[in-house]
Chains A and B, each alone.
Chain A
Amino acid sequence: MALQYTHWTLDQDDQDLAWLTLDVADSRTNILSLSVLDEFRQILERFEEHTPAGIAIVSGKSRGFIAGADIKEFTEITRVQQALEKIYLGHSIMDQLDHLFCPTVAVINGFCLGGGLELALCCDYRVALDDPGVRFSFPEIKLGIHPGYGGTVRALRHLNPLTAMDLMLTGRSIDARRANKIGLVDHVVPERQLRSAARRLLLNRPPVHRVPRMAKLLNSRPARLVLASQIRRRVSRKALLEHYPAPHAMIRHWAEHYGDEEKMLQYEASSVAELSVTKTAKNLVRTFMLSKKLKGLASREPAPVRHVHVIGAGVMGADIAAWCVHRGLTVTLQDIRMESLARAKKRAWQYFRRRLKHRLLVRNAMDRFIPDMQGSGLGKADVVIEAVFEDRNIKQDLLASIEPKLRKDALLATNTSSIEIEKLCDALAEPARLVGIHFFNPVTRMPLIEVVNGVQTRREVLQQAIDFSRQIDKLPLPVRSMPGFLVNRILTPYMVEAGLLREAGIPAGEIDLAAVRFGMPMGPLELADTIGLDIGLHVAESLDLAYGFGIPESFRSMVEAGKLGRKSGQGFYKWKRGKKVSPIRKPSPKHSESIQNRLVSRIANEAVACLREEIVPDRDSLDAGIVFGTGFAPFRGGVMQYIDSRGAADLLATLGSLQKQFGDRFRPDPGWHELIAEAG
């Protein structure tokens, strides 16, 4: 006997167990939208009248339990009261589930995120499929809030508080085995045992998992106060209170309210309601929506890529290869030097060991990572990516020499970071097939790919490149082929300015601190050290030719002196084994504001220029590029969003006065007037 709702199906079996299946209509994933919750409440009310022997909540989607709340509904919230109503509704449903008189189990067969995890935590038990696709996380913090459907209460009810706080503060996701280890799920089983494990739990009713005895001590009031201040200090290093209020609210929540669940629920609701209307939350949600927009550029069902051939086993090529292998592809990596291939293989192995852990998974990945000195993979690959030294002639010769060997339908891409596609495709018999696929360093961490659209690039080729980017789980941003494209073009003047500030005698630490306080993930000079000054200089020189950004004298002299940054041990900082070791003295934030002004003005000015030249089609794309390509303060929602919030006129005035003081590198772009006119 089955009871059919729009999103839910209820089956009662002969042991009086209720199997409640969620299969959200017209959606590829299960999300907790209002209509889903509404039906759920009806079903729960039914259970209160006729309580079955046990309830199992199952997903009807093949891959995924519940992905969380409906973000679209979230964006519609503008007032605290509105948010509160929504949260209370969620609270009451979750409470109902939590307080049912029969045992309940969540059967988790895929991602279990945010609201989905909160729902699972209301159940007495959780069983999970033993599969790498099963992920648990509280991603709320990335949207500027914290769990709001009772998750803060129930996570702390079941888990070691340090683990729970770590999950909620970082938004990191964990797999089923890890979840089992920390007590988040009771059993991790293969597909064939998923249902019988759930049934066994409902019928046998073993004790429900609670915070382990030792960990309980951590929840005592004095321990909480000490730990909270430590956690706060660590969080502040990445997320300043004034930029990201949510983690700080979360810490306070635990430290001050733990112990009384009623009070905690109250506080959770009001805290999330307040957070959800902050600028930070709005901007973070916008950032999230931007990423969805980029994801949406891919075709519905593109032909899957299986084999990628990468030419050039430098750090970039090697990392692209490792990343593609990690995403399940087979990669042949070509280089003329065996040493480079050997290094690349070692690097890949270290990466896989860290990420995949299990011996057989690492071995399978390594078996798909094939050094290929002879270039035998060229004629077989679905995608060929050129990642050799950033030099027009070298790249041209290489592209011309490989073209005849490629499959007719293979995608031919160059990973150039600044050279226009038009200047590289001359040498090809079929120039229309060349497209740019620009990865960012470090490839394994940066989510963006600039898909560079040459004037000559065929439409289908561009789409193929976008689809490939999505297949390897990157965000594709189509950009026009102009020197530096979008991201490097905007970053370069910013780094040049940092170099000029340094030449003016301001300590590197102070410059970087100002940038970090603005919200950049890393200061510009530390970034230069990390990229390598030689590579940075090379890009700066080529962009200087195109746009006249200028090049600080110190860049050249440092490169000549062999001070290349992290890799040589000395750059703007001293480095030891990949770690920054100087300066020891804490930099002073005294001049932060004026430094920020100079750095940010150049970013903003160049962004306006890019928009005017239509490097990207619209402001959203520009912001997406700058946030995902540089890590530009996500809580500010991107450069254009920042210009909007500060006021274009104000920034224009700032540029004007900086131009008077420092010269024409601050000359406002003509695009500003259009921008102001639009705003006005």
Chain B
Amino acid sequence: MTQPAIYIIDGSRSPFLKAQGRPGPFQASDLAVVSAQPLLMRQPFAPDALDEVIVGSVSPGVDEANIARVIALRLGCGHRMPAWTVQRNCASGMQAIDSACTSLLLGKSELVLAGGTEAMSHTPVLYNHHMVNWLGELGRARSPWQKVRALARLRPGFFVPVIGLKKGLNDPVVGLSMGQTAENLVHRFRIPRTRMDHYAVQSHQRLLHAQENGYLDEVVTIYDHQGTYYDHDNGARPDSSVEKLAKLAPVFDRKFGNVTAGNSAQITDGAAWVILASESAVEQHDLSPAGRIVATAWAALDPAQMGLGPVHATASLLASQDLEPADIDYWEINEAFAGQVLACTAACQSEEYCRNELGMDHALGEIPHECLNVDGGAISIGHPVGASGTRIVHHLLKVLQRNQARLGVATLCIGGGQGGAVLVENLQ
């Protein structure tokens, strides 16, 4: 039995905007709305013709509960548009696509807007629990004397804030920061610092090359309220070099580590979208599919090794389709860390790893560097955690089309120890 096709009709994304140490000009729903407006405007159908809107977002603003619904309403999809938010950490934007696929496969929907959005620069800064306790006590104090006593218990330490972003990037079970899990991989596969830095430099160069050649035409110009426009990812560093990166101090294992800010993904704001459709929606609205989603796969592993998630997910994805890495034309492995991407390619080629961890009798195979993240990745573009999953799936399709290739795999590692992978086929 062949399963019904799921078509990728079109997609768009906002420029990915590097966090500048304070809240950026757009909230998560703002980013999603302004990047989806041009996408919807150029479709032959009206926004209310969609069947549902699914959005991945790790930490929407406190005033953006079920951010997908907020976005759907702001996009003019109408009061009757069902919309829901998914959260699978770094793969939230990929989960949105997968959830859309499920709806389409089950015949619950015919036309879905799926995407991800994240305004990491807006992640809240919180009071610590001492302060919260103290405020509660103060609130309960009734008599003036009780109030004075409560006030007297205020300590300077209460003012130390909890940085929401930092908490989010820490594994809640094993207690390691994401960077430390990358250090684990670097150690395990003996990846030298210079190789990581070299990879990072190349990510920047590839992005710049892609920008110069107009390969990123899925990026739409967005406008803030202050008269400024944003038309490209601003994380690229033309002056990046291995020598310069070598000077950076490690940020996670501060004394003896290898993972630096320079060879890690950037903290960034951004949103990305795809429109997915069933066969009947394609006919009904006379759409021309750009590609299709062939299969998706998820896998999980030790949280301390979370960066290898793509290897596990890809192995299961390819096995399900009876494919080998050699059948795949292009790859997107989300660049959470340079060391992590390199570890993934190393693990795929390692017979030992594939035998012990994946139960295979041979190495998975090679992922050629020239077919991997050809237009740069999260190290240069940035990694708005909710949006990256959608970005790599859609951009992969763009890469396949540009190179008149057929199959591609987009995959990413997920904080907490998971991996997700999507097999994409170019139809044009």
Interface of A toward B, CB cutoff 8 Å: 330, 332, 338-339, 341-343, 345-346, 349, 363-364, 366-368, 370-374, 376-377, 380
Residue from B38, B46, B223, B228 with most neighbouring chain A CB atoms (10 Å) = B223
- Docked complex Cα distance between A376 and B226 (Å): 24
- Docked complex Cα distance between A368 and B33 (Å): 10
Nearest A-chain residue to B37, judged by Cβ: A370
* Residues of chain B within 8 A of A339, CB atoms compared: 229
- Docked complex Cα distance between A377 and B231 (Å): 19
- Docked complex Cα distance between A270 and B74 (Å): 55
Are A346 and B38 closer than 8 Å at their CB atoms? no
Shortest C-beta distance, B32 to chain A (Å), equals 11
Shortest C-beta distance, A162 to chain B (Å), equals 34
Nearest B-chain residue to A348, judged by Cβ: B225
Shortest C-beta distance, A335 to chain B (Å), equals 11
In this assembly, does B227 line the interface, its C-beta being within 8 Å of a C-beta of chain A? yes
Are A345 and B227 closer than 8 Å at their CB atoms? yes
Are A371 and B225 closer than 8 Å at their CB atoms? no
Which residue of the partner chain, among B41, B75, B225, B229, contacts A366 with CB atoms under 8 Å? B225
Which residue of the partner chain, among A343, A363, A364, A366, contacts B227 with CB atoms under 8 Å? A343
Are B38 and A341 closer than 8 Å at their CB atoms? no
List B residues 38-83 near A (Cβ within 8 Å).
38, 41-42, 46, 74-76
Are A371 and B41 closer than 8 Å at their CB atoms? no
Shortest C-beta distance, A513 to chain B (Å), equals 37
Nearest B-chain residue to A337, judged by Cβ: B229
- Can you report 26 A-B residue pairs in the complex whose CB atoms are below 8 A from each other? A338-B223, A339-B229, A341-B221, A341-B223, A341-B229, A342-B223, A342-B228, A342-B229, A343-B227, A345-B223, A345-B224, A345-B225, A345-B227, A346-B225, A364-B74, A366-B225, A367-B33, A367-B74, A367-B75, A367-B76, A368-B76, A371-B223, A374-B38, A377-B41, A380-B41, A380-B46
- Docked complex Cα distance between A330 and B76 (Å): 9
Are A371 and B221 closer than 8 Å at their CB atoms? yes
Are A338 and B41 closer than 8 Å at their CB atoms? no
* Residues of chain A within 8 A of B231, CB atoms compared: 338
Are B76 and A338 closer than 8 Å at their CB atoms? no
Are A338 and B229 closer than 8 Å at their CB atoms? yes
* Residues of chain B within 8 A of A343, CB atoms compared: 227
Nearest A-chain residue to B40, judged by Cβ: A376
Are B225 and A370 closer than 8 Å at their CB atoms? no
Shortest C-beta distance, B276 to chain A (Å), equals 20
Are B38 and A372 closer than 8 Å at their CB atoms? yes
- Chain B, interface size: which category? 10 to 19
Are B227 and A373 closer than 8 Å at their CB atoms? no
* Residues of chain B within 8 A of A373, CB atoms compared: 221
- Docked complex Cα distance between A339 and B227 (Å): 8
Nearest A-chain residue to B222, judged by Cβ: A371
Shortest C-beta distance, B39 to chain A (Å), equals 9
Nearest A-chain residue to B223, judged by Cβ: A345
Residue from B37, B41, B224 with most neighbouring chain A CB atoms (10 Å) = B41
Shortest C-beta distance, A54 to chain B (Å), equals 39
Shortest C-beta distance, B281 to chain A (Å), equals 19
* Residues of chain A within 8 A of B33, CB atoms compared: 367
B204-226 vs A, CB cutoff 8 Å, 1 = contact: the mask equals 00000000000000000101111
Shortest C-beta distance, B26 to chain A (Å), equals 12
- Docked complex Cα distance between A150 and B390 (Å): 67
* Residues of chain B within 8 A of A368, CB atoms compared: 76
* Residues of chain A within 8 A of B37, CB atoms compared: 370
Shortest C-beta distance, B264 to chain A (Å), equals 31
- Docked complex Cα distance between A268 and B138 (Å): 57
- Docked complex Cα distance between A370 and B221 (Å): 11
Are A346 and B226 closer than 8 Å at their CB atoms? yes
Nearest B-chain residue to A380, judged by Cβ: B41
Interface pairs A-B: 8 shortest CB-CB: A346-B227, A376-B41, A376-B42, A349-B225, A342-B229, A345-B223, A338-B229, A367-B74
- Docked complex Cα distance between A364 and B41 (Å): 17
Are B221 and A338 closer than 8 Å at their CB atoms? yes
CB contact under 8 A between A370 and B226, given known A330-B76, A338-B221, A338-B231? no
Are B76 and A376 closer than 8 Å at their CB atoms? no
* Residues of chain B within 8 A of A346, CB atoms compared: 225-227
Nearest A-chain residue to B225, judged by Cβ: A349
B74-94 vs A, CB cutoff 8 Å, 1 = contact: the mask equals 111000000000000000000
B92-120 vs A, CB cutoff 8 Å, 1 = contact: the mask equals 00000000000000000000000000000
Shortest C-beta distance, B234 to chain A (Å), equals 15
- Docked complex Cα distance between A332 and B76 (Å): 13
- Docked complex Cα distance between A228 and B75 (Å): 52
Shortest C-beta distance, A297 to chain B (Å), equals 31
Are A376 and B229 closer than 8 Å at their CB atoms? no
Shortest C-beta distance, A481 to chain B (Å), equals 32
- Docked complex Cα distance between A380 and B231 (Å): 24
* Residues of chain B within 8 A of A345, CB atoms compared: 223-225, 227
* Residues of chain B within 8 A of A364, CB atoms compared: 74
* Residues of chain B within 8 A of A341, CB atoms compared: 221, 223, 229
* Residues of chain A within 8 A of B226, CB atoms compared: 346
Shortest C-beta distance, B30 to chain A (Å), equals 8
* Residues of chain B within 8 A of A370, CB atoms compared: 37-38, 41
Shortest C-beta distance, A194 to chain B (Å), equals 24
* Residues of chain A within 8 A of B225, CB atoms compared: 345-346, 349, 366
Are A372 and B41 closer than 8 Å at their CB atoms? yes
- Docked complex Cα distance between A371 and B229 (Å): 11
Shortest C-beta distance, B373 to chain A (Å), equals 28
Shortest C-beta distance, A643 to chain B (Å), equals 47
